[in-house]
């Protein structure tokens, strides 16, 4: 049974498995970075928490504006080259952090890192659509499970450096992180060199920025994306300050969330393929988040053992909502955009996601920590409203698509993707 489950996480041989391998490798580096970066910046580099927080926010906002133009470049030049180049730049920024000696060097490196991250995410959207074909949404769910597994492994390695708590350990971690990005770039470079998809006659430039239904969906998805900060920001503080549960529960709930996504994301993603299914999954996610938020709120009034049990159950429920939300995003982000502008649309979608990450501490702090139990219920209501609003927005998008929803130029699963709109690349790109 375990073997069957593992087989669902491993993409089929060829380009899909190769991209999955690259994804797993560089997300190990991402896990190490997430775990250790803030302490390295503050304790290793001697920067203040205020400086780090301010400039990370500024760099993140600058990076938001890089997604659409970098996605457009990937659509017009081919997604593989931009994806590979962005991973190489990310490797260089990880190595550059080792040599930072001033706040201004930190700012420059961080801005470049955020721009490269935006380029990587946008170009990868186009790459996934070309590699995944008509099953791109389900394939993206596989990649998300692989991402979470990679981040989990990286977090364990990052924890070892935290335990050593020396400058040399942090620097070694960043250099290993750089190596994971370089290896990921090398693996991605062995993917087929997909030629750009031709734009339909009469198409205008920057089509994503003119697509009002997709912009509305992007805003709603930004609201729903606040849920990611619930597990990483609001819940740890709530557990530590407002419940009688032991503090080790912070790590326990993170493990429940991570393992839940790794185990079930592929299964959930396979059930959400169309625009209608994506909108319905977003609506379901909103109600599931409301139930989870209510459980977290109730935990504040319970004794330690009951609070721990309720929190674990609430996080398990939240994880189901997270998987429904992710599956909805994958379906909508691959079915609504035209094939020739996939990366540009992903860049626009990531602007909403990045905005959510930027404002999440302030919003969740005001609601969940400022208003307490009522705030958790209001947050759940916000998720319900965003989920329900996605349904009419999806219908609006369906009525207003000026292009076919499925492009004949996108390969189908199982097809020989070395033919059709693919340029041969020195023989090593054969699946």
Segments making up each domain of the chain, as ranges: 7-198+415-431, 206-400
Cα–Cα distance measured from residue 375 to residue 380, given in angstroms and rounded to the nearest whole number: 9
- Average pLDDT in the 277-300 region? 95
Average pLDDT, the chain: 83
CA nearest neighbour of 270 among 397, 144, 405: 144
- Average pLDDT in the 402-426 region? 39
Reduced 3-state DSSP string for 217-266: HHHHHHHHCCHHHHHHHHHHHHHHHHCCCCCCHHHHHHHHHHHHHHHHHH
Contact between 299 and 105 (Cβ < 8 Å): no
Q: Count CB neighbours of 201 within 10 A.
A: 5
Does the domain spanning 7-198+415-431 belong to CATH 1.20.1250.20? yes
φ/ψ of 194, rounded to 5, equals -70, 130
Query: According to the model, what pLDDT value does residue 5 have?
Result: 53
Per DSSP, the three-state class of 376 is: helix
Cα–Cα distance measured from residue 157 to residue 330, given in angstroms and rounded to the nearest whole number: 29
Classify domain 206-400 at the CATH class level.
mainly alpha
Confidence of residue 152 (pLDDT cuts 50, 70, 90): confident
Dihedral (C-alpha) 188, 193, 196, 198: value to the nearest 10 degrees?
-140
Q: Which residues pair with 194 in a beta bridge?
A: 422
User: CATH topology of 7-198+415-431 equal to that of 206-400?
Assistant: yes
Confidence of residue 416 (pLDDT cuts 50, 70, 90): very low
- Average pLDDT in the 414-426 region? 34
φ/ψ of 170, rounded to 5, equals -65, -45
Sign of CA dihedral 299, 302, 304, 309: negative
Sign of CA dihedral 102, 106, 108, 109: positive
Radius of gyration from C-alpha coordinates of the chain = 21
Confidence of residue 419 (pLDDT cuts 50, 70, 90): very low
* Percentage of residues of the chain with pLDDT beyond 70: 90
Per-residue pLDDT tens digits for 358-370? 888 889 988 998 8
Residue 198 DSSP code: P
Cα–Cα distance measured from residue 378 to residue 384, given in angstroms and rounded to the nearest whole number: 10
Per-residue pLDDT tens digits for 104-151? 898 899 999 989 988 898 888 888 888 888 778 888 888 888 888 888
Contact between 140 and 345 (Cβ < 8 Å): no
């Amino acid at each position: 049974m375990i073997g069957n489950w593992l087989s669902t996480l491993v993409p089929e041989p060829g380009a899909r498995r190769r991209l999955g391998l690259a994804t797993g490798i560089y997300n190990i580096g991402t896990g190490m970075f997430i775990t250790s970066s803030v302490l390295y910046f503050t304790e290793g580099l001697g920067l203040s928490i205020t400086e780090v927080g301010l400039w990370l926010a500024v760099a993140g906002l600058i990076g938001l504006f890089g997604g659409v133009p970098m996605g457009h470049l990937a659509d017009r030049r081919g997604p593989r080259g931009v994806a590979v180049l962005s991973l190489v730049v990310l490797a260089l920024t990880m190595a550059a952090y080792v040599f930072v000696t001033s706040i201004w060097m930190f700012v420059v490196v961080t801005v470049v890192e955020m721009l490269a991250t935006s380029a990587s995410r946008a170009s990868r959207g186009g790459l996934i659509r070309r590699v995944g074909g008509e099953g791109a949404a389900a394939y993206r769910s596989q990649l998300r499970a692989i991402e979470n597994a990679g981040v989990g492994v990286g977090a364990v390695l990052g924890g070892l450096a935290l335990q050593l708590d020396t400058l040399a350990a942090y620097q070694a971690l960043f250099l290993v992180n750089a190596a994971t990005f370089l290896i990921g770039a090398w693996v991605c470079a062995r993917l087929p060199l997909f030629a750009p998809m031709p734009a339909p006659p009469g198409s205008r430039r920057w089509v994503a920025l003119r697509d009002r239904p997709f912009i509305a969906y992007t805003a709603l998805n930004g609201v729903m994306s606040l849920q990611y900060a619930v597990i990483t920001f609001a819940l740890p503080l709530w557990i530590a300050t407002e419940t009688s549960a032991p503090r080790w529960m912070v790590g326990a709930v993170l493990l429940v969330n991570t393992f839940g996504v790794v185990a079930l994301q592929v299964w959930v993603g396979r059930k959400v393929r169309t625009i209608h299914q994506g909108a319905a999954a977003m609506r379901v996610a909103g109600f599931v988040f409301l139930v989870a938020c209510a459980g977290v709120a109730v935990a504040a009034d319970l004794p330690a053992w009951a609070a721990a049990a309720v929190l674990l159950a609430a996080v398990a429920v939240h994880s189901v909502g997270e998987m429904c939300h992710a599956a909805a995003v994958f379906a909508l982000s691959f079915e609504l955009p035209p094939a020739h502008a996939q990366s540009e649309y992903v860049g626009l979608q990531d602007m909403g996601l990045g905005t959510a990450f930027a404002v999440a501490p302030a919003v969740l702090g005001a609601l969940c920590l400022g208003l307490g139990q009522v705030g958790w219920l209001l947050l759940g209501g916000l998720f319900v409203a965003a989920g329900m609003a996605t349904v009419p927005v999806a219908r609006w998008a369906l009525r207003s698509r000026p292009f076919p929803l499925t492009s004949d130029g996108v390969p189908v699963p199982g097809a020989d993707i070395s033919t059709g709109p693919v340029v041969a690349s020195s023989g090593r790109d054969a699946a």
